[in-house]
């Protein structure tokens, strides 16, 4: 049993003793914060900005869906098969959440000006 305050951590293929607990990843901290966030916690300005961002993103996805690269990607993903529970914008193609997020994000980004 390690001394009090020293937790075993894994480094490569060897166990070592560390005087510090493992660091939490920033992405985990942000995800936990977002998960715990309630609508009531948001200011009216934050709600307005989120709505504006969402509507802008949908507009970009509509335009981006007509770009050649987005059409090629959608054709490729359809050929790989769909039938997931997540929907891609515009086409209505059903796939898994990761692929739908990628396709939707690509369509949104296709119309973003540099």
List, for residues 60-70, the tens digit of each pLDDT value. 999 999 999 99
In the chain, what percentage of residues exceed pLDDT 70? Answer: 79
Say if residue 63 is in the same domain as residue 11. no
Say if residue 12 is in the same domain as residue 61. no
State yes or no: pLDDT of 59 exceeds 50. yes
Pairing between strand 7-11 and 14-18?
Answer: antiparallel
What the block records as the tokens of 14 is: 């060897």
Number of domains in the chain: 2
* pTM summary value: 0.66
pLDDT at 13: 45
Say if residue 61 is in the same domain as residue 27. no
Average pLDDT, the chain: 85
Say if residue 10 is in the same domain as residue 51. no
Residue-range definition of the domain harbouring residue 100 = 42-114
What the block records as the tokens of 51 is: 């709505």
Task: Please state the rounded mean pLDDT for residues 38-65.
Answer: 94
Say if residue 65 is in the same domain as residue 93. yes
Say if residue 54 is in the same domain as residue 83. yes
């Amino acid at each position: 049993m390690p001394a009090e305050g020293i937790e075993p951590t894994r480094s490569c293929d060897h166990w070592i003793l560390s005087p510090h607990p493992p660091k939490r990843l920033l992405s985990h901290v942000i995800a936990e914060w977002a998960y715990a966030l309630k609508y009531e916690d948001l200011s009216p300005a934050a709600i307005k900005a989120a709505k504006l961002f969402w509507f802008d993103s949908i507009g970009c996805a509509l335009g981006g869906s007509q770009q050649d690269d987005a059409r090629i990607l959608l054709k490729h993903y359809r050929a790989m098969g769909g039938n997931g529970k997540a929907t891609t914008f515009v086409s209505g193609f059903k796939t898994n959440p990761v692929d739908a997020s990628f396709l939707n994000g690509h369509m949104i980004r296709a119309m973003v000006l540099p």
